[in-house]
Amino acid sequence: MSNRVYVGNLSWSTSWQDLKDHMRDAGDVQYAKVLQDRDGRSKGCGIVEFTTVEGAKDAIEKLTDTELKGRKIFVREDREDGKRGGGGGGDRGERGDRGAPSGGGGGGGGGGGEPSSSSGGDAPEPGSQLFIGNLSWETGWQDLKDHFRQIGEVERADVAVGRDGRKKGFGFIRYSTAEDAKKAMDELNGVEFMGRPLEVRLDNKA
């Protein structure tokens, strides 16, 4: 358990200061950040770092399902310390979070490209890979990965790109387990992400 938590289902109007103020109910907050896309728009999720591990634990126990800016948030342990791009500012700035991405590449034309460093090219567990349809054209693989991490550990994320470099509006997510993939289908299919309701189903070609 680390002293960082991932906070999801944030309203688009929530700033890092709003997030920090809300999370202070659990303990002393060192750092708060709302993740943003390249256009500076909120992705609806953020990262909060507490002074202590106990603060992070209390946040998960006490602040999940509490209301912030009109939406019930969820809080869980952040499993990707320092590996995330697309920062949204905070009281300590970017702090070097634009390190090497840990997920899959943006290309691959549907998940068949070069395996990412994190996936190692291993064959996925049966039932652990999902097809994600109806993506907005702005959605990148990191956006997709951040969104689906609210369910469980994402091994790989891809957004399909054509030969002309333009996105095709669909992508793929591979979870560590088929159980997380099923949960994602149950909880995220039809849910709006970056302005469009997603289609989430098993990738039959995996």
Q: What is the pLDDT of residue 115?
A: 33
Cβ–Cβ contacts within 10 Å for residue 40, how many?
9
Q: What pLDDT, on a 0 to 100 scale, did the predictor assign at position 148?
A: 94
Q: Whole-angstrom Cα distance, residue 139 to residue 47?
A: 19
pLDDT score of 55: 95
Query: pTM of the entire structure?
Result: 0.46
pLDDT by residue for the chain (206 residues), tens only, comes to 789 999 988 888 899 999 999 999 999 999 899 988 777 778 888 999 999 999 999 999 999 999 998 888 999 888 765 444 444 444 443 333 333 333 443 333 333 333 333 333 456 678 999 999 999 888 888 889 989 998 988 888 888 888 877 888 999 999 989 999 999 999 999 998 888 899 999 987 76
Please give the radius of gyration of the chain, using alpha carbons only, rounded to the nearest integer.
17
Q: How far is the CA of 160 from the CAs of 3, 57, 106, 107, 136, in angstroms?
A: 35, 37, 7, 6, 12
Report yes or no: 200 and 189 within 8 Å, Cβ to Cβ: yes
| Residue reference for tokens 């999902």 | 130
Give SS3 for 16.
Answer: helix
